[in-house]
């Protein structure tokens, strides 16, 4: 794989996520569901490059090298650009969109479009597919239909009709049921996005001094029946049966161990740069 590669290495991707296939799988709903479940359980969400002041490259060759070959994770652009390339190579019809993150926001102001998600057209239906939203990542595609509670392996989700913008494009709000309450995750409309749009947004979220990614550690991974999340030193593990457990990670050694073992990132054995960045976390 070199810097000029523009094709997806399906065999390497399937091995990375543990997908067993004797032949190239057909573009069916079963295939989409299987890949959507395995991807966020094996390729973690993380922003270590941003935290270390390194550029985040979102061309396909760079994304494959980082997430597939090198055992690292990434954030939404990296995850969903990789996933889109896999789906397209398998014959799925996929379009890319952008969302405004509502998760964790208290204000009424409209946030910028900084999240990437996909819509997959299959059997006369459209499915929202998104393997890159941190601790609240979907583990299954959901039908693009409003006011329908949809059960996934990691919780219940629904789409609500969002306010239509000036261009009269349909808009939706993705919500998850958290502790018995519906909580908004992001808003999106059906204005198609292109690589140039994601390049611009990626530059913004990875370099703008007020971006949450620049000065904070964010990492997450799904596991069977669990969501594992890390924000700076605060770790949470949500178990579908046992509820949520939280703890503070006091030192760099513990942070490194959690990133490597619980989140599943292949870390360098000794890195003064990484240790210094982890030591500065609030």
CA neighbor of 37 nearest in space, from 174, 154, 156, 158: 154
Burial of 200 from C-beta contacts in 10 A (0-12 / 13-18 / 19+): exposed
Pairing of strands 155-161, 171-178: antiparallel
Which entry of 9, 36, 49, 76 is annotated as an active-site residue? 76
Task: Establish whether 115 is a catalytic residue.
Answer: yes
* Sheet with 243-248, side-by-side order of all strands: 45-46, 218-223, 226-231, 234-239, 243-248
CA neighbor of 222 nearest in space, from 254, 260, 262: 262
Burial of 273 from C-beta contacts in 10 A (0-12 / 13-18 / 19+): exposed
Which entry of 115, 154, 189, 262 is annotated as an active-site residue? 115
Chain CA centroid to CA 68, Å? 15
CA distance 272 to 42: 26
Chain CA centroid to CA 211, Å? 17
Task: Establish whether 36 is a catalytic residue.
Answer: no
Tokens of 107: 């204000």
Task: Establish whether 203 is a catalytic residue.
Answer: no
Cα end-to-end distance, the chain, whole Å:
38
Pairing of strands 171-178, 93-101: unpaired
Which entry of 9, 36, 49, 130 is annotated as an active-site residue? 130
Residues with a catalytic annotation lie at 76, 115, 130
């Amino acid at each position: 794989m070199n810097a000029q590669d523009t094709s997806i290495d399906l065999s390497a991707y399937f091995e990375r996520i543990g997908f067993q296939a004797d032949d190239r799988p057909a573009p069916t709903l079963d295939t989409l569901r299987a890949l959507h479940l395995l991807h966020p359980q094996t390729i973690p969400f993380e922003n270590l490059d941003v935290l270390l002041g390194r550029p985040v490259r979102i061309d396909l060759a760079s994304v494959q090298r980082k997430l597939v070959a090198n055992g690292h994770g990434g954030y939404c652009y990296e995850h969903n650009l990789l996933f889109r390339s896999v789906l397209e190579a398998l014959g799925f019809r996929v379009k890319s969109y952008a969302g405004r993150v509502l998760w964790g926001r208290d204000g009424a102001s409209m946030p910028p479009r900084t999240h990437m998600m996909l819509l997959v057209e299959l059997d006369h239906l459209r499915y929202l597919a998104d393997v890159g939203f941190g601790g609240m990542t979907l583990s299954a595609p959901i039908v693009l239909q409003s006011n329908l509670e949809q059960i996934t392996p990691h919780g219940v989700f629904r789409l609500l009709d969002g306010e239509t913008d000036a261009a009269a494009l349909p808009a939706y709000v993705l919500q998850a049921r958290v502790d018995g309450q519906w909580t908004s995750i992001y808003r999106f409309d059906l204005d198609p996005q292109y690589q140039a749009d994601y390049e611009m947004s990626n530059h913004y979220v990875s370099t703008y001094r007020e971006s949450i990614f620049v000065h904070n550690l964010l990492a997450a991974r799904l596991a069977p029946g669990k969501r594992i999340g890390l924000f700076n030193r605060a770790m949470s593990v949500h178990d579908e049966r046992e509820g949520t457990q939280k703890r503070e990670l006091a030192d760099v050694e513990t942070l490194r161990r959690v990133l490597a073992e619980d989140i599943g990132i292949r870390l360098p054995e000794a890195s003064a740069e990484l240790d210094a960045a982890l030591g500065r976390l609030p």
